[in-house]
Structure 1
């Protein structure tokens, strides 16, 4: 088998077909729909608070864990497990269950074959694909990352979900920034050990995620709260952005690790769409000259136009 792999030959068309099959592109919901993403992409969802960043993650969770179809009913999900690491400790699980129940009920109503029993079973099946971890400091976050590989291997051995994880979500990657930055000013007790500071923490974070992706290719979605300032590494000038600039504060090792970045915020024009606040989204990496508008409703996120 190894010899066949070494001496094997394939055309470019065959290679592309194999890679796309092994690592398919993921079609994400609005407002992440404009850029095709695949496993091993690191997507940063940046924006001030509030700007619906966590809501985008919840919408993505629902799309992943819902089944594709059951008993002739199309639910439109990816039927994939999700790993969610909550660093803000503010995830509203009730909100996730609300979106799931509304989407399940809508799909059953559309076909006219659903019943309350089916709703409950599909809801339970979906929630079994959702893995949630809450961390209260960087040390717990690093411990969670270090144990993920063992957890995934154990799950694969026991065939818990039947399918491999394809999405890792982190909310919010900069939650402990000021605490870790303050640690660098403390005196180092043991000169033979690395000082626990902001730089070493994120070096370890990037290293652990990289090692995890080598064995378990996944799409990584990480939110980041930003604040405005006079000078910034990225800004948006134009209708809707009102010349607002945002401060980049994450260490360079994380900035270079990110492969995609999208900036989201509430609209400045105070315009409500069907009694809902309108939000704006624009891709910074890759840079797209497109401004998307979206609203958050009970059943999820939808384009406002």
Structure 2
């Protein structure tokens, strides 16, 4: 009898990796869905566009031996989706990088300092600088500006050792500078080993809040040229040989490269439970369309300039542009709005039709 009882208990044991257990625990804990990125304007839009999490698949007999309270908690485990945000513009100097700096600063700043609410995420951030323009001094000034804004709101004149607070926070921004799309892919593939190697950085006790890429379109034209050259070199070769080289990745295909970048970003996002935020510059030509918002501003709608599946990758697509005197206008990309669910349309009506304004000067960024 003892043997059969032991066999029954053993049959109820489910094996799982540690990362799977931690993933389920993270989903069971209350999720602050209203504060995903820490910037209200974007978080409000994410609340509108983020789909409701789907319940995780379960075996019919999986909950049979659970107590009622445990059964309820088990049902609460849902497949969590972390946001992907595209920040695009049709020109440079439109505020994309400034917004990215602000998000990165919020990611690493503490939530409170001496009982003063800072609203930082107290996490780590990965900043992938494909443009080669990352400015550490600018990130410092943006983080400093956030602190001063919060102090002013709480009528606090000065915090002790502000410089040390900023230094300790910004060391958790990990900057990478790939020089090509293959280099970007290799960077993404190496993030797991880098972040799990506690001897290489000081962020071991912090979650990864987000991966920032500035920008995702910087290598597009050199990739397009490389793709065209590769296609010319295939002229006259047998189809089977061409396909063999493609499968073995001996030949460059721009579509394959950009699809692999998205797959790797999805893998890393799922592994670390982090957001992905990237900038793009759009080449819209005559394909752009615009409609007037209630505030009189134009909401531009255009397709993603990158090959598939980038167009379907982001949860939220935001367009920014300069609005004069250091002010910038942000709005939801209106592409495909005819097919938007009713809840999205009604949600945007409540949120200034999906528009927001932010400003930037030498002292920082105000969103």
TM-score bin, normalised by smaller chain: 0.7 to 0.9
Structure 2 residue aligned with 1:9:
none
Using the alignment, how far apart are the partners of 1:247 and 1:111 within structure 2? 46
Distance in 1, matches of 2:28 and 2:97, equals 29
Name the SS for the 1:183 alignment partner. helix
The residue number in structure 2 matching 1:238 is 292
Q: Name the counterpart of 1:264.
A: 320
**CA gap 1:255/1:106 in 2 versus in 1, 3 angstroms:** closer
Whether contact under 8 Å (2:111, 2:119) holds in the other structure is yes
What stretches of structure 2 of length at least 5 have no aligned partner? 1-8, 15-23, 51-79, 336-343
Please name the residue that 1:229 is paired with: 285
Correspondence for 1:114: 159
Q: Report what 1:292 is aligned to.
A: 355
Match of 1:301 in 2: 366
Given that residues 82 and 130 in structure 1 are in contact (C-alpha distance below 8 angstroms), is that contact kept between their aligned partners in structure 2? Answer: yes
- The C-alpha deviation readout for 1:234-288, integer Å capped at 9, x for no partner, is x331154558554532112222222221222234xxxx5xx43342322548663
2:257 corresponds in structure 1 to 201
Alignment correspondent of 1:41: 83
CA separation in 1, counterparts of 2:10 and 2:176?
39
Match of 1:131 among 174, 180, 191: 174
Q: Is the deviation greater in 57-66 or in 42-51?
A: 42-51
- CA pair 259-3 structure 1, distance change in 2 beyond 3 A: farther
Q: Could you list the runs of 5+ residues in structure 1 that have no partner in the other structure?
A: 7-15
1:277 aligns with 2:327: yes
Alignment of 1:141-152 (within 5 A): 141-152=184-195
- Cα distance in structure 2, aligned partners of 1:4 and 1:204: 38
Q: Tell me the distance in 2 between the aligned counterparts of 1:59 and 1:166.
A: 13
Deviation of 1:73 after TM superposition, in Å, equals 3.4
SS in 2 for 1:196: coil
Instruction: Tell me, in whole angstroms, the C-alpha distance in 2 between the residues paired with 1:30 and 1:56.
Output: 13
Q: Give 1:168-179 correspondences, 5 Å limit.
A: 168-179=211-222
CA contact (8 A) 1:168 1:219 kept: yes
Structure index of larger Rg: 2
How do residues 16-31 of structure 1 correspond to structure 2 at under 5 angstroms? 19=27, 21=29, 24-25=32-33, 26-29=36-39, 31=41
- Which structure shows the bigger proportion of residues in helix conformation? 2
Contact 2:259 2:308 in 1 (8 A): no
Cα RMSD (Å) of the superposition? 3.3
CA spacing shift, 1:249–1:72, aligned 2, 3 Å: closer
Q: Number of residues paired by the alignment?
A: 284
How far, CA to CA, are the matches of 1:4 and 1:237 in structure 2? 58
Q: TM-score, normalised by structure 1?
A: 0.79
- The alpha-carbon deviation at position 92 of structure 1 amounts to 2.2
Q: CA deviation at 1:108?
A: 5.2
Q: Structure 1, residues 105-146: CA drift from partner, whole Å, max 9, x if none?
A: 45456334623xx11210111112111111221121111011
